[in-house]
Amino acid sequence: MVDGEFTFSQWNSGGVELTINEQFSAGFLMTVIFFAGFDNIDIQKVDKVGSPGATVTTGFQTDIVFMISNDCPADDTAYVNSVLGISMAVRGSGFGTFSSYDADASSSSVVRGGIADDYFHMQAGFSPGIYYDIGNFTSTSFDIQYVSGSGDNTDDWIVVSLDLPSYISAWCGADTSPTTATTKSNTSPGFTPQCLFGILSDHSAIDDWNGDSEAGVLALAFANQDGAQKR
């Protein structure tokens, strides 16, 4: 069942205009982050990324990659079991991946999830799931490369590719939360950030794909240099 659906209409001077195709049942709250200033942006669906992988042709050299998968083999297809994967990577930096699986009407032991900082990981419902790398960056494309693992190879992925101006820096990697009410620094980026986009989880270890209380906990966090935070 789809509870509300909208499509992009147009950009305007103050933001964006959307067309509501199916009325929402309630006034749900959503956090939206807007970017401006990229040299190029490409959004496309990559069909059925199995082994050995696929080539994503963008027409420019990609600096940042976002990938989203929910184990659905086609658009607008209802899927009973919840399978979600969110990944991001920065060329020359690192990866950040969250993957979760929750079968309908199943016990808590069936719920699986995990995080990774070296590869894209999808389909946590399978053991151990499928790992992908990205590489072979050219001036017009890059490859999604199969690394290892098993599972359903019929996923469609939404891939967002961003081309940064030469004067803009980006970094992606893993960090741990503080265990006390204090300030914690992360100096790994090596520059002063203006915007933060975080994939948060309850996992306490990298590559922990176990089915436990940590598996289904996911949050997305956004912050800008003025201190505004949303999650």
Structure tokens at 114: 């995990």
Residue 72 reports pLDDT greater than 90: no
How many Å apart are CA 164 and CA 195, to the nearest integer?
Answer: 14
Q: Which residues contact 56 (CB under 8 A, 6 or more apart)?
A: 44, 46, 62, 141, 142, 143, 144, 159, 161
How many Å apart are CA 58 and CA 38, to the nearest integer?
Answer: 14
Amino acid code (one letter) for 195: C
Residue 49 reports pLDDT greater than 60: no
Q: Which residues contact 27 (CB under 8 A, 6 or more apart)?
A: none
Residue 20 reports pLDDT greater than 60: yes
Residue with tokens 């079991």: 81
What pLDDT score was predicted for residue 64? 92
Residue with tokens 């359903």: 152
Residue 141's pLDDT band, with cuts at 50, 70 and 90, is very high
Residue at 124 is within a domain:
yes
Domain that holds residue 164: 37-230
Q: What is the mean pLDDT of the chain?
A: 78
Residue at 215 is within a domain:
yes
Residue at 2 is within a domain:
no
Residue at 1 is within a domain:
no
What pLDDT score was predicted for residue 86? 82
Residue 76 reports pLDDT greater than 80: no
| Between residues 103 and 6, the one the model is more confident about | 6
Convert the pLDDT of each residue in 97-129 to its tens digit.
777 766 655 555 667 777 778 777 665 455 556
Residue at 140 is within a domain:
yes
Structure tokens at 86: 């969110």
Residue at 32 is within a domain:
no
Q: Are strands 40-46 and 53-57 parallel, antiparallel or unpaired?
A: unpaired
Residue at 52 is within a domain:
yes
Residue at 53 is within a domain:
yes
Number of domains in the chain: 1
Convert the pLDDT of each residue in 181-227 to its tens digit.
888 888 888 998 888 888 888 877 777 666 666 776 778 888 887 76
